[in-house]
Amino acid sequence: MTSEHRAVEPAAGSTRPLVVLVGAPGAGKTTVGTLLASRLGVTLRDTDTDVEAALGLSVSDIFIEHGEETFRAAERAAVAAALAEHPGVLALGGGAVLAEQTRAALAGHRVVYLDVDVHDAAKRVGLARDRPLLIEAPRTRLTALLRERRPFYEEVATAVIETAGRTPDEVADAVLAALPGVLAEH
């Protein structure tokens, strides 16, 4: 259970997230983000929720009715807006890092990659009815998603936290330990 990190200093006077969480479906971004926000006395913002609000449909329905391309365009806009205006904890959708524009926008932010293994992710997403990319053969699809996305998660991360065998509280503790500046700042 290791973590690694590199220092990032926030720009003076900027409105920016205290921490940005990235990771595969089932990594615990929303659960851990909720715990972190509570501990830090800030709000959690989830870009999937922002996309749903903007388009008036669930993520699954966006994929079904408009396709992944429409979802990804809305996701890029949601991430850009949240990075510019949200001062709390920010959870990105699992595929947000696929966009080069998003990876570039994450530069200079405190980004934590919640690294989950296929076994734990599969347990957490279950039958994945609300996760359009995992509807068919969730374990096989998760394996492929992790293989495809891991390099992007690692590219944007200032800290990598392994979640295997840890409770959400333990993961939140590890995030705060890896980013001592978050507590000092807040």
Secondary structure in 3-state letters for 13-54: CCCCCCEEEECCCCCCHHHHHHHHHHHHCCCEEEHHHHHHHH
The total domain count for the chain is 1
User: Does the pLDDT value for residue 7 go beyond 70?
Assistant: no
Does residue 63 belong to any structural domain of this protein?
yes
Q: Give the global pTM.
A: 0.84
The confidence score (pLDDT) of residue 126 equals 54
| Chain CA centroid to CA 102, Å | 12
Structure tokens, 62:
């966006």
The 3-state DSSP class for residue 147 equals: helix
User: Does the pLDDT value for residue 137 go beyond 70?
Assistant: no
The confidence score (pLDDT) of residue 165 equals 86
Name the burial class of residue 77, with classes exposed (0-12), middle (13-18) and buried (19+) by CB atoms within 10 angstroms of its CB: middle
Average pLDDT over residues 165-181: 93
**Mean pLDDT score across all residues of the chain:** 84
Confidence class of residue 60 from pLDDT cuts 50, 70 and 90?
A: confident
Does residue 170 belong to any structural domain of this protein?
yes
Average pLDDT over residues 132-140: 58
Does residue 6 belong to any structural domain of this protein?
no
Name the least confident of 71-75, 138-142, 148-152, 169-173. 138-142
Confidence class of residue 63 from pLDDT cuts 50, 70 and 90?
A: confident
The confidence score (pLDDT) of residue 3 equals 42
Strand order in the sheet with 19-22: 3-5, 159-162, 111-115, 19-22, 89-91, 44-46
Give which of 91, 90, 47 is closest to 71, Cα–Cα.
47
Does residue 58 belong to any structural domain of this protein?
yes
- CATH code of the domain containing 150: 3.40.50.300
What's the full length of the chain, in residues? 186
What range defines the domain where residue 119 resides?
16-180
Does residue 53 belong to any structural domain of this protein?
yes
Q: How far apart are CA 77 and CA 69, in angstroms?
A: 13
